[in-house]
Homo-oligomer: A and B are copies of this chain.
Amino acid sequence: MTLTLYSFGPGANSLKPLATLYEKGLEFTPRFVDPAKFEQHSDWYKKINPRGQVPALDHDGKIVTESTVICEYLEDVFPDAGTSLRPADPYKRAEMRVWTKWVDEYFCWCVSTIGWAFGIKAIAQKMSDEEFEEHIRKNVPIPEQQLKWRRARNGFPQEMLDEEYRKVGVSIERLEATLSRQDYLVDSGYSLADICNFAIANGLQRPGGFFEGYVTEQKTPGVVAWLARINERPAIQEMFAKAKREELLKRVGEPASN
């Protein structure tokens, strides 16, 4: 049995299957797809996922896409490996799915748009106007993603950013409403609900970041304690430590390989 995960580093949608694999203690080959080199749009990667999106899981030659679907797949195939990340009780499992669905349909989008507006600009502006347009037209298969890339380069409409910031606020309030009264999003314990929300929420605390003031000890003590609780988990620490080591090795190796 071989598992290979194609992903960016441990953040956003890529973090979901990464954390799941570490929590379940499954052996796998991590295959870093470099967004700074547009590797997700490369021909070799689009043979794996024609939509040009990470993450993707290769399990004995079968490809599973969509981060949340990959997490459920790993639970379906390896229910007894490591930590079980789906509640056994069907009602709690439904609660878990309401949370993971909400991340994919709401929380992830508002955070992602702000991230694209302020974080992806540098990558998108690396190329000349002509190079950029040609790259997007030729290599990005999804029209909505093409639009996002163009906006990342040329700027997002201000009313869109205002609306997305409003939604970030709504999202954090929703998390806090639950996490102020219990340790995990579903009260049966740590589950995919936490992993999928953590994937989006973990970066929001960063001082000087795009979301400063949304997640603080004063305003959202429940969310802050929950983030700390997850960051202390051995599997999560291992995931971040290995990603750092890989990045370091890559940097050391780069001058020689260039």
Contact = CB atoms under 8 A, between A and B. Distances in A.
Contacts of A91: 59, 62, 64, 73
A105 interface: yes
Contacts of A76: 90, 93-94
Interface residues of A, number: 24
A86 to B, nearest CB: 10
A181 to B, nearest CB: 16
Contacts of A170: 143
Given A62-B91, A105-B104, A72 B97 contact: yes
Copies held by the complex:
2
A113 interface: no
A69 B90 contact: no
B64 A101 contact: no
Main DSSP-derived SS at the A contact region? helix
A90 B104 contact: no
Interface in A88-114: 90-91, 93-94, 97-98, 101, 104-105
Contacts of A105: 104-105
A68 B69 CA distance: 14
Contacts of A94: 64, 69-70, 72-73, 76
